[in-house]
Chain A
Amino acid sequence: MSNIHKAFENGKAFIPFITCGDPDLATTAAVVRTAVANGADLIELGIPFSDPTAEGPVIQGANLRALSGGVRTDQIFDLVRQLRTDVTVPMVFMTYANVVFSYGAEKFIATCREIGIDGLILPDLPFEEKGEFLPLCRQYGVDLISLIAPTSRERISMIAAEAEGFLYIVSSLGVTGTRTEITTDLDAIVRVVRQNTEIPCAIGFGISTPEQARKMASVSDGAIVGSAIIKILARYGKDAAPYVGEYVRSMKVAVMQCD
């Protein structure tokens, strides 16, 4: 088991997503540190992919900016090594199956363990395909995070029963991106999850305002926010850290109001 459970020991969790290398790795490091200083409980670090099929235009843009800046997987490992000298909250990688596979799955996952990455979120690796990386993840003590979608229905119990680390509940149909309204019956999904596992679950996709975060965290164990943070990075670039810090603080305050 990894350290992911620690992210859920400070009340409801707030989990920011940051694409590594957008616009450069120094900015990513500054943004991660300020997010932690402002109450982020777990950091989701995106390794950019050329063709991120689960992402909306905002995170696609971040992937493109990072890759245009020339960021490489090995440099991202170095970034994490450097962050781990002072950052103690759990950190997970969010990327696509080919980034792990192509690097050499064992080398990638062993490196995750070595540098202090606690989990892997791969949106194009559903339950049926997790055997691709699960044995190696178990061997090296890296949690392979499972996702549940609004369309999962009878699959929820099967996925939840075998989930590790935390469960990522996708709030809405479609790709990542901010939404004005989330209409999925998340209460019902979380009820089935709770019947099948004791690991925490957090909701992501479409969340941008403190009010949405509070609502999502009130039915689950935390809120995950990506696109809203990427928008701040897109707007302020290398100067984004203080603005992200301010935003993370407002979101953590909001999710804490659930308790």
Chain B
Amino acid sequence: MSKGRFGIHGGQYIPETLMNAVIELEEAYNHYKDDPEFVRELSALFNEYAGRPSRLYFASKMTADLGGAKIYLKREDLNHTGAHKINNVLGQALLAKKMGKTRLIAETGAGQHGVATATAAALMDMECVVFMGEEDTIRQALNVYRMRLLGAEVIPVKTGTATLKDAVSEAMREWTSRISDTHYCLGSVMGPHPFPTIVRDFQAVISKEIREQILEKEGKLPDAVLACVGGGSNAIGSFYHFIGDEGVKLIGCEAAGRGVDTFETAATIATGRLGIFHGMKSYFCQDEDGQIAPVYSISAGLDYPGIGPEHAYLHDTGRAEYVPVTDEEAVDAFEYLARTEGIIPAIESAHAVAHAMKIAPGMSPDQVIVITLSGRGDKDCAAIARYRGEDLHE
């Protein structure tokens, strides 16, 4: 079995042209990850620039309203650039810089990873090109402007379904044509080894903090940790330091779109099967001939037909549970959290909020749930307004 396996999942299913690039990346990462200077520089960026540690907020009104478990919100939405994406990007950009790269390329769905990459590139004086599905450039027009304002070039991808998977494909194509000065700053725990491991390690700061914060506030570990899952970076970041704690339920909330019994869904664990795509073996939404399915979700950030290989493994072993959440449930949760706690979550994160609303009432008041709010919802307001029938455009 090749490198970078999580059970049977993972691996390096990429063109030969890219093999030396991922091998060099792995070597550089193994060298720097424990290098005291690298670790010091990255913590300084996390703390001074991104605003870490992020808060673990006790949602008292939501807790009282749902009448069950105590609910805490891990506020990744309060990070600089408004999402957890900055954690991974600062790590990868710093690593790329150490490797002598001068140019970052990235894919983006909702635009959050693109904005974070453009931000890091501006900070570190690097060139930046972001690939974004044309459909998503329309859904998330404001983020396109943000990336351009930060000095990045945004290339609308018109191939396939013109969404996140096509942006990943196009970024991979660009990387094969220009490797020597370019680092592909992949935004999730997916793709070929070593990306799923590197991205997880940079996002694992989320669960490291949750663990310390909840022990301080509650004197015990949480009963459940919930996060939304597309590729799965905020979820693996939220789960990682709890994987060894059997008492902590880990729940990933997938985008079911219009429902797992329709074709308009992006719930990979619920509707996909084992396959090989975008450099990894994992579960994918696909047809009988292995053609990748044109998935759908109201959330551009979860609109991806696969799931990271470590999640596929956590599903196989039963250590984590993956549940589908529909557009309608996510939008309800988006509005609920805004009115109840005065917090507008990203529509992606609202999927996790929605599932918490289902399970919290059935739990006892001495139990604790942590929901990771992976991002803030400003970017989604116009789209949600339109979903509710209002004629609002940015």
Q: Does A175 contact B (CB under 8 A)?
A: yes
Residues of B within 8 A of A150 (CB): 17
Measured CB to CB, the closest approach of chain B to A83, in angstroms, equals: 20
Q: Are A101 and B275 in contact, CB atoms less than 8 angstroms apart?
A: yes
Measured CB to CB, the closest approach of chain B to A206, in angstroms, equals: 11
Tally of chain A residues near chain B (CB < 8 A): 41
Q: Does B228 contact A (CB under 8 A)?
A: no
B17 in complex: contacting residue of A128, A131, A151, A159, CB < 8 Å? A151
Q: Are B289 and A53 in contact, CB atoms less than 8 angstroms apart?
A: no
Complexed CA–CA distance, A128 and B18 (Å): 12
Given A129-B2, A155-B19, A124 and B179 contact (CB-CB distance below 8 Å):
no
Find the A residue at minimum CB distance from B294: A50
Residues of B within 8 A of A1 (CB): none
Q: Does B276 contact A (CB under 8 A)?
A: yes
Given A53-B172, A175-B173, A126 and B292 contact (CB-CB distance below 8 Å):
no
Residues of A within 8 A of B177 (CB): 173-175
Residues of B within 8 A of A153 (CB): 20
Q: Does A67 contact B (CB under 8 A)?
A: yes
Q: Are B179 and A101 in contact, CB atoms less than 8 angstroms apart?
A: no
Interface set of B (CB-CB < 8 Å, partner A): 1-3, 11-21, 159-160, 165-166, 169, 172-173, 176-179, 273-279, 284, 286, 288-292
Complexed CA–CA distance, A125 and B276 (Å): 10
Q: Are B275 and A54 in contact, CB atoms less than 8 angstroms apart?
A: no
Interface set of A (CB-CB < 8 Å, partner B): 49-51, 53-54, 56-57, 60, 67, 72-73, 96-103, 123-129, 131-132, 147-153, 155, 159, 170, 173-175
Other 6 A-B pairs with CB < 8 A, given A124-B279, A127-B19, A150-B17: A102-B290, A103-B289, A123-B16, A126-B19, A128-B11, A155-B16
Given A51-B160, A51-B165, A101-B275, A127 and B16 contact (CB-CB distance below 8 Å):
yes
Residues of B within 8 A of A173 (CB): 17, 176-179
Q: Are A54 and B2 in contact, CB atoms less than 8 angstroms apart?
A: no
Complexed CA–CA distance, A152 and B43 (Å): 36
Complexed CA–CA distance, A67 and B89 (Å): 36
Measured CB to CB, the closest approach of chain B to A108, in angstroms, equals: 10
Q: Are A124 and B14 in contact, CB atoms less than 8 angstroms apart?
A: yes
